[in-house]
Amino acid sequence: MERESIYKHYEPAVTAPDINHSEAHWFAFFTNKLLVKKDDGSYTIPYVRDLYQLNTQTVRTQYLGLLQGKPCYSAELASEEPVPEGMEFVELRALYDFITEDLFLLAGKAYQIVSWDQTHQFCGRCGSATEDLSGERAKICPKCGFISYPRICPAVITAIRRGDQLLLAHARHFKEGMYSLIAGFVEAGETLEEAVRREIHEEVGISVKNIRYWSSQPWPFPNSMMLGFTAEYDSGDIKVDGVEITDAGWYSADDLPGLPSDASIARKLINWWMEQNR
C-alpha cells in the first residue's frame, strides 16, 4: 500500500522564522551517521533548543521547515566525540525500523542537504567561495553568478516478470545471499523507458516489453531519486555482466532468496509482486 505523503505533516522551508522556538528536531550528522537518543532499545531524534545543549560542535546548520508544527534543522557536526550522554551515532539506513517513517524521510532529506552543503562551499565554475541564495535552497557565486542546487540523480529500478516468476539479481556490492531488482542511473539524453531497457540489457542480457511506471522514492545514499517500474520479459537468455551483477535468475514467490530492506522501493516492488502471485 502506498504510504501517506509526508507533506500532510511537513511544511518545507528554507528561511527560519524570526521567532525563537524553545525546542526543535535536530538531524545532526557526522559523515553518514545520525545522532540519535537511545531509550530502552528505541531511538528518537534529538529535540532540543540547540545542539550546544548537547555539547556538540556544528560546522553548519540548515533550516528544514515544520514537522507537525515543530521546527526542524539539519546540521553537520565537526566530530562524533564526545558522544552526548544517552545518545549514539547510527548509520541512517539502519534506523528505518526504529523511528517513524516521517522522521526517517525527513532525516534522508536532511542528509542530502548536509552532503550538498558540504560539497558546494566553492563555485564549480570559478572556484570562488559561494553564498546561500536568499529564499532558495541554493548556493550562488558572488563572483560569476553561477547557481547550484542540491544534486538529485534519477535512477530506474524495475520488477521484471516472466509469468509467475520475478527476475532477481545479486550485485557485487550486496551482502552475501541478498538479491534485488535491476537498477541503474539514467544517462544524459535518454528517456526513463530507454534507461530501463538499457540497464536490463547491459546487466543481465535480456529484453523487456510493456514497461510501466509504478512509483518513486527519494533514496538519500547519497542523492538518488529511485523511479520504480514494472516490465515483462520479452526475449533473450540471462547473461550477467560480471561487473555489477554476479548472479541472476528467475524466482517464484515460494522460493525467494534474501531480499533488500523494507525501507527500499526494491522491497516494496517485490512485496507488490508477491501479492499478485499469492
pLDDT, tens digit, 9 for 90 and up, residues 159-199 = 999 999 999 999 999 999 999 999 999 999 999 999 999 99
Q: Is 192 helix (H, G, I), strand (E, B) or coil?
A: helix
Task: Please give the domain boundaries of the chain with CATH numbers for all domains.
Answer: 6-119 (3.90.79), 153-276 (3.90.79.10)
pLDDT given at position 255: 93
pLDDT given at position 2: 59
**CA dihedral defined by 196, 213, 237, 248, rounded to 10 degrees?**
90
Beta strands in 163-244 (DSSP E): 165-171, 182-185, 207-219, 224-235
**CA dihedral defined by 140, 146, 147, 149, rounded to 10 degrees?**
-120
Between the CA of residue 257 and those of 51, 231, 245, 277, what are the distances in Å? 43, 21, 15, 16
pLDDT given at position 105: 92
pLDDT given at position 59: 96
Alpha helices by DSSP H, 38-163: 101-119
Q: Is the dihedral of CA 269, 272, 276, 278 positive or negative?
A: positive
pLDDT at 1 > cutoff 50? no
Task: Give the residue-averaged pLDDT of 112-141.
Answer: 96
Mean pLDDT of the chain: 94
Whole-model pTM over 0.75: yes
Q: Which of 10, 121, 131 is nearest to 59 (CA)?
A: 121
Amino acid in position 151? R
Judging by beta carbons within 10 Å of its beta carbon (0-12, 13-18, 19+), is residue 4 exposed, middle or buried? exposed
Task: Note the maximum CA span of the chain.
Answer: 63
Residues 230, 223: Cα–Cα separation, whole Å = 23
pLDDT given at position 22: 78
**pLDDT tens, residue by residue, 132-148:** 999 999 999 999 999 99
pLDDT at 20 > cutoff 70? no
Q: What is the DSSP letter of 197?
A: H
What is the share, in percent, of the chain residues with pLDDT greater than 90?
83
Task: Give the residue-averaged pLDDT of 22-34.
Answer: 94
Residues 141, 148: Cα–Cα separation, whole Å = 9
Give the Cβ contact number of residue 139 at 10 Å: 22
Task: Give the residue-averaged pLDDT of 87-106.
Answer: 91
Is residue 72 within 8 Å of residue 64, measured between CB atoms? yes
> pLDDT-derived band of residue 21, with 50, 70 and 90 as boundaries?
low
Residues 258, 42: Cα–Cα separation, whole Å = 26
Pairwise pLDDT comparison (277 vs 180), residue with the higher score: 180
Cell 540471462 found at: 238
Residues 111, 231: Cα–Cα separation, whole Å = 32
Residues 207, 189: Cα–Cα separation, whole Å = 20
Residues 131, 1: Cα–Cα separation, whole Å = 42
What is the share, in percent, of the chain residues with pLDDT greater than 70?
98
Q: Which of 219, 224, 218, 210 is nearest to 160 (CA)?
A: 210
**pLDDT tens, residue by residue, 199-247:** 999 999 999 999 999 999 999 987 999 999 999 999 999 999 999 999 9
